[in-house]
């Protein structure tokens, strides 16, 4: 029987329970669906829920388990962000601008199904995945389960809120400028942005800034998700070489002594970056913990150079491309249309081409810090989750400046393409999650998973937020 305690165990532990037949997939799926019905009106994490389809998929999974079949996520109920196609559903991307149902599943959805996952539904995001909050005119405000007056972040805010609230065992997410890592940080979850092209993605989104991934309760959950969607033939000729061992093995294997650089200096943002005292403190605390665990730790800043210029041009040009692809642009919010105007001024075609051309030089210069260090530790954001409504509805310029000041630490690694992860640290004085960021050299997700698992064992972060009160008026 699936008790509600199982809602906060995570995908890896539930997969074990399913294999041991301690619980059935139908029992788990029904439990998550009942929680969604009761809790989600207060947080609005799901755009759509497919209860009947999910229960049918759960029955198929139970039959496969009974027949002795196995797959990494067999029978595990998950959610997917509304950026990927699910056959027969309109991929809304947080807007009313689309109306054509997808003809087939996206590759990552197909691989998740092939791994046995039970898809509960699709999660909310800001319009066209632009923002570090999840609030839209079309689908309403998505709220943080830790405090419904705060944002879960964005753009994978619905996925972060759903997992934190115990409405799915794990959730697919995507990251073009921190969109996995910021919701993970705000919601007390682990969030890994994989190496570019590691996981399947539809096309080259935002001139190559975006990748697919997930948000999860534990490091082992993310490792399992990555194993599930990268097993088998490479999805693309651009996919990096497979790791020497599985991601799950990496997460379960001690790192040995590492050389870790620590920096609180962000790249130049569109406006002066912010860093609150608590966010700086958790970096210092984490550095001290790592030193106590035997790692070599010293403060050293990357050579950022002019990387901020490339980041801004690439980000805005990618948004402008997305806006042009919307069939009903007249339905877009004024703030979104304002980003198209900003792109014309700040990211003309020549600047966008230049940003991509300079990626390798930026990667080499910034990556020099890994010549004598294995990993880099930085703040994740200026502070805990901001209040709902801080940036939604403002002019595009005000939103861009405000968000770039609060969230300056993530997007550089989208530009360089290498792995980076948000790792929970502790709760703030007001009871909201705080996190740090770990960054690895290209292709070294194994190092991130291994060290993050060590931090998880030293200061376990799996905490349950209070169950939200009835839904506030939108």
pLDDT in tens, 423-460: 999 999 999 999 999 999 999 999 999 999 999 999 99
Give the separation between CA 47 and CA 93, rounded to whole angstroms.
Answer: 10
At 462 the pLDDT is 75
Give me the catalytic one of 24, 179, 355, 428.
Answer: 179
Does 81 qualify as catalytic in the annotation?
A: yes
Q: What is the mean pLDDT of residues 41-60?
A: 98
Let me know: does 415 contact 310? Beta carbons within 8 Å. Answer: yes
Q: Is the pLDDT of residue 13 over 80?
A: yes
Residue 208, Cα to own-chain centre: how many angstroms?
16
pTM, rounded to two decimals:
0.97
Which long-range contacts (C-beta less than 8 Å, at least 24 apart) are formed by 345-354?
346/312, 346/313, 346/316, 347/312, 347/313, 347/314, 347/315, 347/316, 347/317, 347/320, 349/317, 351/313, 351/317, 352/207, 352/313, 352/314, 352/317, 354/310, 354/313
Taking alpha carbons only, the member of 199, 27, 215 closest to residue 123 is 215
Let me know: does 186 contact 215? Beta carbons within 8 Å. Answer: no
Q: Is the pLDDT of residue 473 over 60?
A: no
Q: Is the pLDDT of residue 249 over 70?
A: yes
pLDDT in tens, 285-333: 999 999 999 999 999 999 999 999 999 999 999 999 999 999 999 999 9
At 343 the pLDDT is 96
Give me the catalytic one of 25, 106, 155, 404.
Answer: 155
At 407 the pLDDT is 97
Does 179 qualify as catalytic in the annotation?
A: yes
pLDDT in tens, 185-207: 999 999 999 999 999 999 999 99
Using CB atoms within 10 A of its CB, is residue 70 exposed (0-12), middle (13-18) or buried (19+)? exposed
At 43 the pLDDT is 98
Share of the chain above pLDDT 90, in %: 93
Domains and CATH numbers, the chain: 4-458 (3.90.1300.10)
Give the separation between CA 80 and CA 200, rounded to whole angstroms.
Answer: 14
Q: How confident is the model at residue 110 (pLDDT cuts 50, 70, 90)?
A: very high
Q: How confident is the model at residue 463 (pLDDT cuts 50, 70, 90)?
A: confident
Encoding tokens for residue 178? 């921190």
Beta bridge partners of 213: 173
Q: Is the pLDDT of residue 474 over 60?
A: no
At 469 the pLDDT is 72
Q: What is the DSSP letter of 129?
A: G
Give the separation between CA 318 and CA 313, rounded to whole angstroms.
Answer: 8
Encoding tokens for residue 267? 């790249």
Give the separation between CA 20 and CA 292, rounded to whole angstroms.
Answer: 38
Give me the catalytic one of 25, 45, 81, 246.
Answer: 81
Let me know: does 37 contact 51? Beta carbons within 8 Å. Answer: no
Q: How confident is the model at residue 1 (pLDDT cuts 50, 70, 90)?
A: low
pLDDT in tens, 392-412: 999 999 999 999 999 999 999
At 427 the pLDDT is 96
Give the separation between CA 212 and CA 217, rounded to whole angstroms.
Answer: 17
Does 395 qualify as catalytic in the annotation?
A: no
Length in residues, the chain = 474
Q: How confident is the model at residue 269 (pLDDT cuts 50, 70, 90)?
A: low
């Amino acid at each position: 029987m699936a008790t509600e305690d199982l809602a906060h165990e995570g995908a890896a532990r539930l997969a074990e329970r399913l294999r041991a037949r301690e619980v059935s997939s139908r029992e788990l799926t029904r439990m998550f669906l009942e929680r969604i019905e009761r809790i989600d009106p207060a947080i609005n994490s799901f755009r759509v829920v497919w209860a009947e389809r999910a229960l049918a998929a759960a029955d198929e999974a139970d039959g496969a388990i009974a027949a002795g079949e196995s797959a990494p996520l067999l029978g595990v109920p998950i959610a997917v962000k509304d950026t990927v196609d699910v056959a027969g559903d309109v991929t809304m991307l947080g807007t009313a601008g689309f109306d054509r149902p997808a003809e087939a599943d996206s590759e990552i959805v197909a691989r998740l199904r092939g791994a046995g996952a039970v898809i509960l539904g699709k999660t909310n995001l800001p319009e066209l995945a632009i923002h570090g909050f999840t609030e839209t005119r079309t689908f309403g405000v998505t709220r943080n389960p830790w405090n419904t007056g705060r944002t879960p972040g964005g753009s994978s805010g619905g996925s972060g809120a759903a997992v934190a609230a115990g409405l799915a065992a794990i959730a697919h997410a995507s990251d073009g400028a921190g969109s996995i890592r910021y919701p993970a940080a705000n919601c007390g979850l682990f969030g890994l942005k994989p190496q570019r092209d590691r996981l399947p993605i539809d096309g080259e989104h935002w001139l190559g800034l975006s990748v697919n991934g997930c948000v999860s309760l534990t490091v082992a959950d993310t490792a399992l998700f990555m194993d599930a969607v990268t097993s088998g033939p490479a999805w693309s000729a651009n996919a990096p070489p497979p790791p020497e061992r599985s991601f799950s093995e990496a997460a379960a294997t001690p790192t040995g002594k590492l050389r870790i650089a620590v920096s609180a200096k962000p790249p130049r943002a569109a406006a002066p970056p912010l860093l609150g005292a608590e966010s700086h403190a958790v970096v210092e605390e984490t550095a001290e913990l790592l030193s106590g665990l035997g790692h070599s730790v010293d403060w050293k800043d990357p050579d950022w150079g002019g990387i901020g210029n490339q980041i801004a041009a690439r980000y805005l040009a990618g948004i402008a491309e997305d806006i042009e692809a919307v069939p009903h642009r007249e339905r877009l919010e004024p703030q979104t249309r304002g980003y198209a105007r900003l792109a014309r001024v700040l990211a003309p075609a020549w600047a966008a081409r230049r940003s991509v051309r300079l990626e390798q030089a930026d990667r080499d210069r910034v990556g020099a810090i890994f010549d004598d260090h294995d990993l880099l530790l930085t703040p994740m954001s200026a502070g805990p989750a901001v209040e709902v409504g801080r940036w939604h509805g403002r002019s595009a310029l005000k939103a861009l400046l405000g968000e770039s000041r609060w969230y300056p630490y993530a997007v550089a690694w989208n530009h360089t393409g290498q792995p980076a992860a948000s790792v929970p640290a502790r709760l703030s004085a007001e009871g909201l999650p705080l996190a740090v960021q770990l960054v690895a050299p290209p292709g070294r997700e194994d190092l991130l998973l291994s060290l993050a698992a060590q931090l998880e064992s030293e200061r376990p972060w799996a905490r349950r937020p209070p169950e939200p009160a009835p839904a506030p008026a939108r």
